[in-house]
Structure formats: C-alpha cells, structure tokens
C-alpha cells in the first residue's frame, strides 16, 4: 500500500538493498543531496522521445527538478500546482523538470488505487497528455541512478538549484496537500534566488509516497501470489438478485460485468477485470460478475473464473431468459456480451459498454468517480 511519512531532507538516510536492471546496483544507503552540493548530471529519456542531460538546461537562471510520478495521490494533488509554477516562472528564466524515480515493476496493484495509470514510460506519456504538461517529464525507472544520486525519498520531492547549479532548496512544494497553503516553500526559494537573496528556508520535510526502488519488486510479486491464492466462488442469482445489484444500495462504486465461457472476448478480458478489482477494492469499490452459462454449466464457469483468479462476487444467472436479466440489470442493454456497467451508489449508471471494454477507459471512469487524492478517501 502507499504510505505517507515525514522525513528531514538531507538528514534522514533511506536504506536500500537492491540490484537494479541493466547491471547497475544501487548503493545500500541513499542520502538526500545536501544544501550547497552540485547538481548531479543525468541522462534520461523524456516522454517526447528525446534524451535529456543537465547541460540542456544551462541557460536557466534557476533549475527546479521535481521527482514525481503518475500513481501517487500526493503527486497527483500537486500536478496542477506544478503546471502553475512552470507557467508563472518560465519567462523569468526558471526551468522546471519532472522526473519519475519509480521502478514500475516495484509498484503493487493495490498501490494504484488512486490512479488509472502505472509508472511506466508509456503511462507517463498518457498522463502528461491528459494533464497538458508543458515541461520535460523524464523516466528513471529502469536504472534509478539519478534518483539515488539526488536521494529521492518520496514523490513529490523538490530540488532547486541556482545559476551555478548548487542546491539551494530541497523539500516539499508547499505545506498543504489538500488544505489552505500557509507556506509556499518552493516558490519562496525561487523568488529569493531570482532576487539574489538567500533562500529563507533551505530544507523542509517531504510527504507523499515512498520511492519505489527496485528492491520492492519482491513485495509486488509476493502480493500477486497471495491474491492468486484467494478462494473463488460462484453462486446462482435470480432476477430479483440482479435487480438489487443494479440498484446498488451501498456506498461503493459497483462494476458489473456480464460474460459467458462461450464468449471469447468475455474470457479474454477477465484478466483485465482482475487487475481492476485488485487496484481499487481497498477503496469504496466492488466488482460483480454475472455468467450467462446457466446453472447447469456452473462448474464450467467456475473453472474459468478460478483459472483467472477472479475472487470478486461471482454469479451465474439462474434463468434462461436473457430478457429478464436485461430488464433487471439495464433496459438499455442491447443484448450482446460482454456487457460492463459502472453503477454509482443509488443506482446511477455512469459507464456502460457492450462488447470488449477499453481498460484505460474503465479505470479513468472509476478513479474520476472515487477521486485521485487523499482528500477523496
């Protein structure tokens, strides 16, 4: 799970035991860069297909490097503020660069419960387009050398350098993720540097999601094994049960998927449904599957569900009348399967799709309803 913490930047040491891909091993101790230190060089791919180095920003009077990511609720809470920061200062000689430090394979599925995306480079491209990032967004998830050199403790983590590329501020963007901001720490540092003054507060604590170093791949893999071992059941549901499910008299967003073993697209998308279920089930979310195989073929349907590890609420419709099912579930359903609905508390349908669904489209619909930040717990 994502967790929040407070650390003293430049003092607390993050202990890592990891061997990272491409033959590079992270040091056992990664310490946050100290005030006055020179900016470590880097060579990182951006979402625009270019490779960026420190020298590419040589003309900037002030360089702001923000280590952030796609999935973290805190990072998402600050995206609009980073956009404003860039817009407010780009004409004044300030360059803002965002870097994702996370190994995407080290992120557990249940850590993605506030996002529709993971932290891969391809996912970064999608998020940057969705949000309209006008600044470079760089990926350090494969080797994590740059993130280790800077000593990234959380996302977001801000490093601000002067014209000589000496570190003058390290810490948070400001002092409030979701409430009223009292201390605009990063802005105060930028203003001081542009005015030729000393930065009033050079270091602050940081708060957000811990850096997903490659050592955490083991935890992600173990979580998958635990989820795969969960029991899978399949009960019979009648017309009244379907109608009650559609009414959704709970506080949860409810995903309902109608499928059948003889429907190839249905079977193929079961794996995506499992991923979605694992991502969001720790929030106000639940998933129901309804099989059209009939009670006499219940064992066959259960076998399919078990192979795919679908440990949601699974039902097989007991009647042979699909019209009864459609009228009880959603009168607008034209009949073909698979059929997928997202039903808000109180029974309002906020998403419906017959035929195979687009996983990203469904995840976006889910997270836009549940919320992307801790203000939406």
Q: What's 353's DSSP letter? A: E
Give the Cα separation of 124 and 21 in Å (integer).
20
Domain 7-220 has CATH 3.90.78.10: no
**Relative orientation angle of helices 79-89 and 121-131, to the nearest 10 degrees:** 70
Whose structure tokens read 């009348």? 321
Q: Do domains 7-220 and 230-376 have the same CATH topology?
A: yes
The answer to which of 22-31, 81-90, 197-206, 268-277 has the lowest mean pLDDT is 22-31
Output the pLDDT for position 2. 39
Q: What is the pLDDT of residues 226-264, one digit of tens each?
A: 999 999 999 999 999 999 999 999 999 999 999 999 999
Give the Cα separation of 98 and 85 in Å (integer).
12
Q: Which fold has domain 230-376?
A: Glutaredoxin (3.40.30)
Average pLDDT, the chain: 93
Output the pLDDT for position 53. 98
End-to-end CA distance of the chain: 14
Q: What is the mean pLDDT of residues 296-313?
A: 97
Say yes or no to pLDDT of 14 above 90: no
Assign 37 a pLDDT band (cuts: 50, 70, 90): very high
Best CA proximity match to 313, nearest among 361, 243, 254, 226: 254
Domain boundaries, the chain: 7-220, 230-376
Say yes or no to pLDDT of 4 above 90: no
The share of the chain scoring above pLDDT 70, in percent, equals 92
Q: Note the pTM of the prediction, 2 decimals.
A: 0.91
* Rg (alpha carbons) of the chain, rounded to whole number: 24
Best CA proximity match to 320, nearest among 285, 353, 282, 294: 294
Output the pLDDT for position 320. 81
Say yes or no to pLDDT of 5 above 70: no
Say yes or no to pLDDT of 104 above 80: yes
Q: What is the pLDDT of residues 208-219, one digit of tens each?
A: 999 999 999 999
The answer to which of 1-15, 50-64, 237-251 has the lowest mean pLDDT is 1-15
Output the pLDDT for position 178. 87
Q: Which residues contact 173 (CB under 8 A, 6 or more apart)?
A: 66, 78, 81, 82, 85, 156, 158, 185, 186
Give the Cα separation of 352 and 362 in Å (integer).
9
Output the pLDDT for position 28. 60
The share of the chain scoring above pLDDT 90, in percent, equals 89
> 156 — phi, psi (to 5°)?
-90, 155
Say yes or no to pLDDT of 12 above 90: no
| C-alpha angle 220-40-170 in degrees, rounded to nearest 5 | 75
H/E element, 287: strand 285-291
Buried b (16+ CB within 10 A) or exposed e, 177-195: beeeeeebbbbebbbbbee
Output the pLDDT for position 376. 72
Identify the three-state secondary structure at position 346: coil
Assign 6 a pLDDT band (cuts: 50, 70, 90): very low
């Amino acid at each position: 799970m994502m967790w929040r913490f407070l650390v003293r930047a430049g003092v607390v040491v993050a202990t890592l035991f990891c061997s990272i891909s491409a033959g590079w091993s992270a040091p056992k101790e990664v310490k946050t860069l100290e005030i006055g230190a020179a900016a470590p060089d880097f060579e990182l791919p951006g979402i625009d297909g270019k490779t960026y180095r420190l020298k590419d920003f040589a003309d900037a009077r002030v360089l702001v490097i923000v280590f952030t990511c796609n999935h973290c609720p805190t990072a998402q809470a600050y995206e609009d503020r980073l956009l404003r920061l860039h817009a407010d200062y780009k004409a004044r000689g300030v360059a803002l660069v965002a870097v994702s430090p996370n190994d995407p394979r080290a992120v557990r599925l249940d850590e993605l419960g506030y996002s529709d995306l993971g932290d891969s480079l391809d996912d970064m491209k999608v998020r940057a387009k969705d949000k309209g990032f006008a600044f470079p967004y760089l990926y350090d998830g494969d080797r994590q050398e740059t993130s280790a050199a800077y000593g990234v403790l959380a996302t977001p983590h801000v490093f601000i350098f002067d014209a000589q590329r000496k570190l003058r501020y390290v810490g948070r963007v400001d002092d409030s993720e979701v409430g009223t901001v009292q201390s605009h720490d990063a802005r105060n540092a930028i203003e001081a540097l542009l005015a030729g003054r000393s930065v009033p507060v050079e270091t602050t604590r940081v708060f957000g999601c811990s850096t997903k170093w490659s050592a955490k791949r083991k935890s992600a893999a173990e979580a998958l094994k635990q989820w795969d071992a969960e029991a899978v059941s399949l009960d019979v549901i009648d017309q009244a049960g379907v109608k009650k499910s559609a009414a959704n008299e709970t506080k949860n967003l409810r995903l309902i998927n109608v499928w059948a073993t003889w429907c190839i697209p249905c079977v193929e998308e079961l794996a995506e449904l499992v991923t979605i279920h694992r991502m969001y089930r720790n929030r106000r979310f639940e998933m129901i599957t309804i099989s059209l195989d009939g009670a006499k073929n219940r064992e066959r349907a259960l076998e399919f569900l078990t192979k795919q590890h679908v440990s949601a609420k699974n039902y097989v419709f007991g009647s042979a009348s699909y019209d009864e099912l459609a009228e009880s579930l959603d009168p607008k359903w034209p009949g073909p399967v698979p059929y997928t609905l997202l039903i808000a508390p109180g029974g309002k349908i906020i998403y419906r799709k017959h035929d195979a669904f687009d996983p990203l489209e469904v995840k976006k619909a889910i997270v836009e309803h549940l919320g992307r930040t801790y203000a939406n717990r």
